[in-house]
Amino acid sequence: MNAAEKAYNVIKKKIDGAETALILGSGLGALADEAKNRKEIFYEKIPGFAKSKVPGHSGKLISGTIASRKVIIMSGRIHYYEGHPMAKLVLMIEVLAKMGVKKLIVTNAGGAVNRSFKVPSLMLISDHINMIGDNPLIGGAHFIDLSDAYDAEYRKMVKAEAKKLKIQINEGVYLAFSGPSYETKAEIRMVRTLGGDAVGMSTVPEVITAKKLGMTVIGISCMTNYACGVTGQPLSHKEVIESGKMISCDFIRLIKSILSSKKF
């Protein structure tokens, strides 16, 4: 029995399946409180899973209903920089597939590289650049197409919902480094040259695995700080958490609107 099957056999006794799942990044866990008829299980109780050591990640798998849609919520994630191998990092995605998930909304806290972005604000991820230095598909010949990693039609829908709610949302390219140190000024200049609009330390492995498993993906990054060198101010995780709380209201409104949309 493989790791995903072992985890699934435990989870299915506690958590309901759903077609839609959400992964909540740093400081964005308040959305989980919106779930009705919720059931939950701590990551530590799931074989193969681990609780994140990072503040702002509660470490729970939750099922329930938000905006009349059944969802599974990953309230927090583990990260590559915590010392976990890629296989453990994306085990959650393999389990979600077994639970019937076809649509994935993945979120994170990111650093704004694009100088036109405000902080805090929301960025719809149009594409990504993988600078983590690893890939979850290594070990097999999985030559998957990532030309539409973040579904184009769903991106149109998200922008329309944001406009309806009068929520400003930018669209841009997310570049993932391994972390855990923040980027240097020189690295941020490189990101800008490569065409990145925001940086972070997650999301990309999950999206690659989700696409391998046939899921459609929406990515939303909360710009919780400016990247190194943009303002000259020092960076801290405390700022990330505080900014996440500031943008939380708009984030929750937008997610609920997406979940209630007939186009999703």
Active-site residue list: 26, 57, 79, 81-82, 109, 201-202, 225, 237
Structure tokens at 183: 């980027």
d(CA 53, CA 69): 30
Cis before 47 (ω within 30): no
Q: Could you tell me which residues are beta bridge partners of residue 111?
A: 199, 225
Are 257 and 34 in contact by the 8 Å Cβ rule? The answer is no
Number of other residues whose CB lies within 10 A of the CB of residue 115: 11
Q: Give the position of tokens 């959650």.
A: 92
Measured distance CA(5)–CA(52) in Å, rounded: 22
Instruction: List, in order, residues 6 or more apart from 51 with CB less than 8 Å away.
Output: 42, 43, 44, 57, 59, 76, 78
Q: What are phi and psi of 107, to 5 degrees?
A: -130, 160
